[in-house]
Homo-oligomer: A and B are copies of this chain.
Amino acid sequence: MNKDQVKHCDVCRKKWPSAEYRIAEFAQSIAYLHHDQFFPGWCVLILKHHATELFHLSPEVNAQLLQEVTLLAKVLQQTFNAVKINYALFGNLVPHIHWHIIPRLENDPAIRHAVFAVDHEPKILTAQEREQRIHLILQSLKLPEIHCFP
């Protein structure tokens, strides 16, 4: 790991995501609600330590992170009754590994397109709406058949 990269990394400097969007902590990652909720339930899953590519991770960390991605995807599908889950790891702006996990709903305005291709005004929730949505996801994470530690 390059110390200079960490020094300039918005995730490592705790500039992004904002703490009020935090949902739950897993072994290798922390789940946040995405600040833009135009697509309801859009979450980001942030690797706890600095790395920028899957092939820079040890096989064990990579596999554990995948389990956390998969768990959150399942929970979002159940919580929002999604017809499809979209998974994306880009890092073009913020290279620190973060997975976008996006439930696509039946009434999705652009179901045939990647959300990144859909021009829209970001939907920022009120504090109350945000807390309600986080609570909703947390409740699903706590279901007996789900194994995690929120």
Contact = CB atoms under 8 A, between A and B. Distances in A.
A62 B114 CA distance: 23
Contact of A89 (B53, B59, B87, B117): B87
- Chain A's interface size range is 20 to 34
A93 to B, nearest CB: 6
Interface stretch (A5-13, A25-33, A70-78, A123-131): A70-78
Given A55-B74, A73-B53, A87-B54, A92 B66 contact: no
A93 B110 CA distance: 11
Contacts of A91: 84, 86
A67 interface: yes
A71 to B, nearest CB: 8
29 contacts: A52-B84, A53-B73, A53-B77, A53-B85, A54-B69, A54-B73, A54-B85, A54-B87, A55-B71, A55-B74, A62-B66, A62-B70, A84-B90, A84-B91, A84-B92, A86-B91, A87-B87, A87-B89, A88-B89, A88-B90, A88-B114, A90-B114, A92-B111, A92-B113, A93-B112, A114-B116, A114-B117, A116-B116, A116-B117
